[in-house]
Structure 1
Amino acid sequence: MHLRGIHHVSAITAHASANYDFYTKILGLRLVKKSVNQDDLGVYHLFYGDQTGAPGTKITFFEMPDAEVNKHGSGSISSTSFRVANEQALQYWKERFLDKNIEHGEISRWAGKLVLPFQDFEGQRLRIVSDDPDNASPNGSPWEHSPVPESNAIHRLGPIEISVRNEKPTLKLLTTVFGMHVVHEETVEEKKTLYRLAMSSEQTTDEVHVIRDPALHFQRPGRGGVHHVAFRVKNREELQSWVDYVNELGIPNSGFVDRYYFQSLYVRDPNGILFELATDEPGFLIDEAEHQLGESLSLPPFLENKRTQIEAKLLPLNTTWHKE
């Protein structure tokens, strides 16, 4: 069994409408599914990605209106990145952020890549990462109505960064259970160490970066923070094999969870980081036509009988795309 790459990242927002505006109108991602948090039916779960929401292109958000501001610290997924084609695209994004008054840093080199750090309106820590033309990742298909030109568009997720005080439990889970391997280790600041991990599958160049920082306090999760990261498995059968495997190892887990658009397994490491394995199949076209993705509230069949009650709890959110 080999993980096929990063499937999605799920984060927290307190404002679904402003979140929709930022990730579609500023970043040029497509809202591919407007649904609800299946563990808390009174709030939205918004999925953004490429034209069809392909695995490896998605960032998702749970709307938690009463969430406090995220406090960065140990036991957190501390940065999410997005891949673009080259350095010229990075320069485009720097100019775009200047024009749109988006908080951002300078283009610099980090973990072997040229990156442009920035934040969304709630302080979500993000990066634009330039691909290496000689070792580029497979591209997603940019949204056909994106305000960002295709040559500069985000085409998939980049490395996911994890921050911990003690890296050993996290590295042990990622390597001995999930089959990743450390490809590089370096000191990035005094007493801070960066571990770059690659997936075992040759089908992906996706990486996970673990930062050891013994000075960190523990994270207080909230809006502007990340809830979990998911890794790709092929289908239900492969996921069930992972469920059996982690059970054999005696690792606490969620068991097989049917999310309808994909199936999942959740494991939390000793540092408190929540990892998910999610299937590539069946995807977001299972209940909506491609040209209508994300425009109306989608519910899995097992929640349809509660649609009236669910819609009554949700604030209106107009996601019907129109050219401005």
Structure 2
Amino acid sequence: MEIKGIHHVSAITANAKENYHFYTEILGMRLVKKTVNQDDTSVYHLFYADEVGKPGTDLTFFEIPNAGTTYPGINSISGTSLRVPNDAALTYFQDRFNEYNVDQDEISKQGERKVIHFRDPEGQRLTLISDETNTGVAGGNVWERSSVPVDKGIIGLGPSKLTVQDPTPTITVLTEILTFKQVSSYPSPVSGQEDILIFSTGEGGTGAEIHLEVRNDLPKERPGRGSVHHVALRVANEEELAAWRDRLQEFRFPNSGLVERFYFRSLYFRDPNGILFEFATDGPGFTTDEDMDYLGESLALPPYFEDQREVIETKLKPLDTKKSH
């Protein structure tokens, strides 16, 4: 039983069309699955990733059209990182962000790594992180038809940042229930706040870290468009997933039980600070029901929703994701 790293991060958008434009045209990620929220089939669930949606590369969005503004605060997943191959890729994106008027900060250091903090059009808090000096979990492969050069593109998810007021319960969950170890820290960019703690699992590196920020100057976050719903952690298979369910029960943590998501199997629980974690299996993956060349171009529905396709499609705004081949 070992968590292999970050599996995916799921966030909220109020506008699927604009979201699709930003993440594919400006960031150069590939839409590998256009499906629906399985808990509310009236809204899209979009998956952006590397060329095939390799575990550890997926940034996903639920479209909630009436989602309000996010008011940042504690008890939140307050930042999502995206890995790029090297420092030169950061310079490329800095110029690209200037060209597209993306809200960004200057290139800076986060511990030993160079980063660019930036925001999408809805205020989603994002960071490009350089793998120049990285060892650990391998990244994915940029889609050859990406809108950015293959040698500069996003190769996966980096660390997720959690923000809490009382770190003790979250540290206990990470280190005593899960398989994370505290490996380092770096100064908070906010004056007067404690250092941000780095927790690592599995092979380590940018694809296997959670960063924990302590803030005593913020209220509880009010999520909306531009906020993160949950972070999912990689487990090898369904057998391990069941073992994690048993472990959570052993520690008396309420959990969802095993959930069928078709592209992977899941298990959900909240830590005492209210942060929603998911365990997700590495398989079976996104080519289960679509050819690799056509991923994300049509509305994909798991078999158990197929008989509802007509009703589901009438509730969704059309979203053109077809590519010329």
Check whether the contact 1:75–1:164 (CA below 8 A) recurs between aligned residues.
Answer: yes
1:236-247 equivalences under 5 Å are: 236-247=238-249
Distance 1:269 1:180, change over 3 A: same
Deviations 1:41-88 (A, max 9, x none): 100000000010000001000000000011110011111011111111
Aligned residues: 322
Q: In the alignment, which residue of structure 1 is the partner of 2:212?
A: 210
Q: Which residue of 2 aligns with 1:302?
A: 304
The question of 1:314 aligning with 2:316 is answered: yes
C-alpha separation in 2, matches of 1:141 and 1:83: 11
Specify the alignment match of 2:130 in structure 1.
130
Q: How does 1:287-298 map to 2 (within 5 A)?
A: 287-298=289-300
Give 1:187 shift. Answer: 4.4
CA deviation after TM superposition for structure 1 residue 132, in Å? 3.3
Q: Equivalents in 2 of 1:33, 1:134: separation in Å?
A: 29
Q: Residue 308 of structure 2 aligns to a residue in which SS?
A: helix
Cα deviation, 1:198-236, whole Å, max 9, x if unaligned, reads: 00x237652100000111110001000000000000111
CA distance in 2, matches of 1:130, 1:137: 14
Cα displacement (A) at 1:140: 0.5
Q: Retained in 2: the 8 A contact 1:85–1:133?
A: no
1:242, CA displacement in angstroms? 0.8
Q: Which residue of 2 aligns with 1:192?
A: 194
Query: Do the aligned partners of 1:11 and 1:224 also contact (CA within 8 Å) in 2?
Result: yes
Unpaired stretches in structure 1, ≥5 consecutive residues: none
1:39 matched residue in structure 2:
39
Q: Contact conserved, 2:83 with 2:131, CA < 8 A, in 1?
A: yes
Aligned ranges for residues 99-114 of structure 1 at < 5 Å?
A: 99-114=99-114
The 8 Å contact of residues 115 and 127 in structure 2, kept in 1 or not, is answered as: yes
> 8 Å contact 1:183–1:198 — kept in the other structure?
yes
What amino acid is aligned across from residue 299 of structure 1 in structure 2?
A: L
| Paired position in structure 1 for 2:273 | 271
Q: Distance in 2 between matches of 1:167 and 1:186?
A: 16
In the alignment, the residues of structure 2 paired with residue 181 and residue 203 of structure 1 have an alpha-carbon distance, to the nearest angstrom, of 10
The aligned counterpart of 2:286 is: 284
CA deviation map 1:5-52 (0-9, x unaligned): 100000000000000000000000000000000111100000000010
Provide closer, same or farther for how the CA distance between residues 136 and 251 of structure 1 changes in structure 2, counting only shifts above 3 A.
closer
What's the CA shift for 1:136? 6.0
CA contact (8 A) 1:261 1:283 kept: yes
Query: Distance in 1 between the 2:25 and 2:309 partners?
Result: 29
Contact 1:193 1:213 in 2 (8 A): no
TM-score w.r.t. length of structure 1: 0.97
SS at match of 1:232: strand
Task: Tell me what 1:64 maps to.
Answer: 64
Any runs of at least 4 consecutive aligned residues in structure 1 with deviations exceeding 6 A, and if so which? Answer: none
Deviation of 1:138 after TM superposition, in Å, equals 1.0
Q: Tell me if structure 2 keeps the 8 A contact 1:4–1:204.
A: no
Aligned to 1:79: 79
Distance 1:193 1:166 in 2: 14
Equivalent position amino acid for 2:18 in 1: A
For 1:125 and 1:192, the matched residues in 2 are separated by 20
Give the share of equivalent positions with the same residue, in percent.
50
Match of 2:123, SS state, is: coil
Contact 2:136 2:204 in 1 (8 A): no
2-structure distance, mates of 1:269, 1:285:
32
SS in 2 for 1:303: helix
SS of 1:281's equivalent?
strand
Matched, 1:227 2:229: yes
RMSD of equivalent CA atoms = 1.3
Structure 2 spans left out of the alignment, 5+ residues: none
C-alpha displacement at 1:248, in angstroms? 1.7
Conserved? CA contact 2:36–2:44, under 8 Å = yes
TM-score by length of 2: 0.96
